[in-house]
């Protein structure tokens, strides 16, 4: 079967077929945090993030977004939101950025550029909550502003198959290419992929489960001696790296 060619088409299919199944399970071995998002819950976060980017901040299809976060479930949300809006996810060094999503570590550097591009900051605390202290002027606290956004989003200028989805390391993948590559998934339908990579730099670890009917178990700051226990507890069926 020919795979869908845009992110909204892929997500619509998943919402129709198994909305209550887990899609992203996130572990931080350093803190013991575990977060699990069903297809529906993840889609709601993606819709809210999409509305924040487009309706609140005025980004448009074709604009360029950097996601300067460590491996985190919010990274998958903003990947989905970018593709939902027809944005290109690119590197933090890109000189043509329209917006950046950053975390606490990179906030000081990005806040200094809030006059020239939209800066969204994630506290990376459990449940996606706000920063404990006020942020510099011009910086959007995702943990505050995302909650007021609607749970559904319809782009007025929806992404097209030939829109660039990822541009990094000298390589450009369009939306259609993204899903064509994901169709060659390592997962059997319903499989669970345990990954210790960053989905922003390795988008296949999100795209393959999303397209195949599977799910992602994303482990940040992985402790090797705990990975086997996590793999078993989550009934994972594949690994990245293999």
Pairing outcome for strands 164-168 and 238-240:
unpaired
**Residue 125 domain-assigned (yes or no):** yes
**Residue 134 domain-assigned (yes or no):** yes
Q: Which of 49, 72, 68, 45 minimizes the C-alpha distance to 59?
A: 49
> What CATH number did the domain enclosing 79 receive?
3.40.50.12780
**Residue 223 domain-assigned (yes or no):** yes
Q: In whole angstroms, give the CA distance from residue 187 to residue 208.
A: 7
**Residue 108 domain-assigned (yes or no):** yes
**Residue 156 domain-assigned (yes or no):** yes
Supply the pLDDT for residue 72: 98
Tell me which residues of the chain have a pLDDT lower than 50. none
Supply the pLDDT for residue 188: 74
pLDDT in tens, 77-114: 999 999 999 999 999 999 999 999 999 999 999 999 99
**Residue 1 domain-assigned (yes or no):** no
**Residue 183 domain-assigned (yes or no):** yes
Supply the pLDDT for residue 44: 98
Supply the pLDDT for residue 159: 97
Supply the pLDDT for residue 232: 97
**Residue 2 domain-assigned (yes or no):** no
What is the number of residues in the chain? 242
Could you tell me the residue range of the domain that residue 209 belongs to? Answer: 7-240
For the record, the structure tokens of 123 come out as 């506290």
Domain count, the chain: 1
Q: Which of 87, 30, 47 minimizes the C-alpha distance to 63?
A: 87
Q: In whole angstroms, give the CA distance from residue 218 to residue 236.
A: 11
Q: In whole angstroms, give the CA distance from residue 78 to residue 240.
A: 21
Supply the pLDDT for residue 242: 80
């Amino acid at each position: 079967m020919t795979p869908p060619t845009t992110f909204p088409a892929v997500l619509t299919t998943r919402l129709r077929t198994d909305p209550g199944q887990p899609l992203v399970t996130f572990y931080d071995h350093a803190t013991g945090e575990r977060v699990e998002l069903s297809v529906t819950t993840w889609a709601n976060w993606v819709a809210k993030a999409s509305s924040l980017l487009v309706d609140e901040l005025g980004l448009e299809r074709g604009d360029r977004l950097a996601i300067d976060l460590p491996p985190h479930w919010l990274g998958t949300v903003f990947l989905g939101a970018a593709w939902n809006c027809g944005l290109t996810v690119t590197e933090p060094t890109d000189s043509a950025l329209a917006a950046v999503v950053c975390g606490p570590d990179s906030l000081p550097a990005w806040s200094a550029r809030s006059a020239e591009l939209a800066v969204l900051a994630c506290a990376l605390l459990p449940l996606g909550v706000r920063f404990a202290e006020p942020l510099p002027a011009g910086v959007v606290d995702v943990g505050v502003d995302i909650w007021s956004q609607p749970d559904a989003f319809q782009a007025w200028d929806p992404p097209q198959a030939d829109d660039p989805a990822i541009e990094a390391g000298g390589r450009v993948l369009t939306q259609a290419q993204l899903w064509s590559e994901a169709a060659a998934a390592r997962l059997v339908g319903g499989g669970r992929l345990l990954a210790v990579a960053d989905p922003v730099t390795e988008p296949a670890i999100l795209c393959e489960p999303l397209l195949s009917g599977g799910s992602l178990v994303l482990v940040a700051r992985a402790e090797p001696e705990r990975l086997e226990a996590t793999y078993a507890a989550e009934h994972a069926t594949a690994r990245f790296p293999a």
